[in-house]
């Protein structure tokens, strides 16, 4: 019962803030509510507080004993939502595809069906010795992605 009540409150809150979206939601057996959100422009502490208050202020602690954790998707957390890909266009990503291919490339496009990755590689010349830099591009359907993470550069 607490699960459906919290989910309704969460959905109502996210309808008010269309730039925020749900990454993960769980209610554990001890009534610990865990929520992970992300946003089209990132997530601030205030955003987490907004979601927390929307739930906490509408549940009766006399009725249900619970603890609530609201967090943002971490920088090293794999992307799981299409909107995360769209907001990271232009960034370098590490992607593992279903055929075990691994890519470190620039995410240049993301739509509702697939992503496009682009990178430069050094390959042997067709004629003669030495190597030449070539521009590579691959289109991957979301179903073909096992894991994708934004590569953090310092």
Query: Rounded to whole angstroms, how far apart are CA atoms 146 and 53?
Result: 34
- pLDDT at res. 77: 87
Task: Say whether pLDDT at 100 is over 90.
Answer: no
- pLDDT at res. 2: 86
Question: Residue range 88-96: average pLDDT?
Answer: 96
* CATH classification code of 2-72: 3.30.300
Task: Say whether pLDDT at 92 is over 80.
Answer: yes
Query: Rounded to whole angstroms, how far apart are CA atoms 38 and 77?
Result: 11
* pLDDT digits 0-9 by tens, 13-51: 999 999 999 999 999 999 999 999 999 999 999 999 999
User: Which residue, 77, 72, 79, 65, is CA-closest to 32?
Assistant: 65
Q: What share of the chain is helix, strand, coil (3-state, %, to 5)?
A: 25, 45, 35
Q: Kindly indicate the confidence band of residue 65, based on its pLDDT and cuts at 50, 70 and 90.
A: confident
Outline which parts of the chain fall under CATH 3.30.300. 2-72
Question: Residue range 115-134: average pLDDT?
Answer: 92
* pTM score: 0.82
The SS3 assignment for 8 reads helix
Contact, 101 vs 140, CB < 8 A?
Answer: no
**Domain covering 82-150, topology:** SH3 type barrels. (2.30.30)
Task: Say whether pLDDT at 68 is over 80.
Answer: yes
Outline which parts of the chain fall under CATH 2.30.30.100. 82-150
Alpha-helical runs (H) found in the chain: 2-16, 45-56, 82-87
CA torsion sign for 3, 6, 10, 12 is positive
């Amino acid at each position: 019962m607490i699960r459906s009540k919290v989910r309704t409150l969460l959905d109502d809150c996210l309808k008010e803030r269309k730039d925020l979206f749900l990454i993960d939601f769980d209610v554990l057996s001890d009534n610990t509510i865990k929520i992970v959100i992300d946003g089209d422009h990132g997530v601030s502490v205030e955003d987490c507080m907004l979601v927390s208050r929307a739930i906490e202020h509408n549940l009766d602690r006399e009725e249900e004993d619970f603890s609530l954790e609201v967090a943002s998707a971490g920088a090293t957390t794999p992307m799981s939502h299409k909107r995360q890909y769209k907001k990271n266009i232009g960034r370098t990503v590490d992607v593992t595809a279903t055929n075990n291919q691994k890519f470190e490339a620039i995410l240049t496009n993301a739509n509702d069906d697939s992503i496009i990755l682009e990178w430069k590689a050094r390959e042997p010349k067709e004629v003669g010795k030495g190597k030449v830099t070539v521009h590579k591009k691959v289109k991957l359907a979301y179903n073909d992605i096992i894991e994708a993470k934004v590569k953090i550069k310092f």
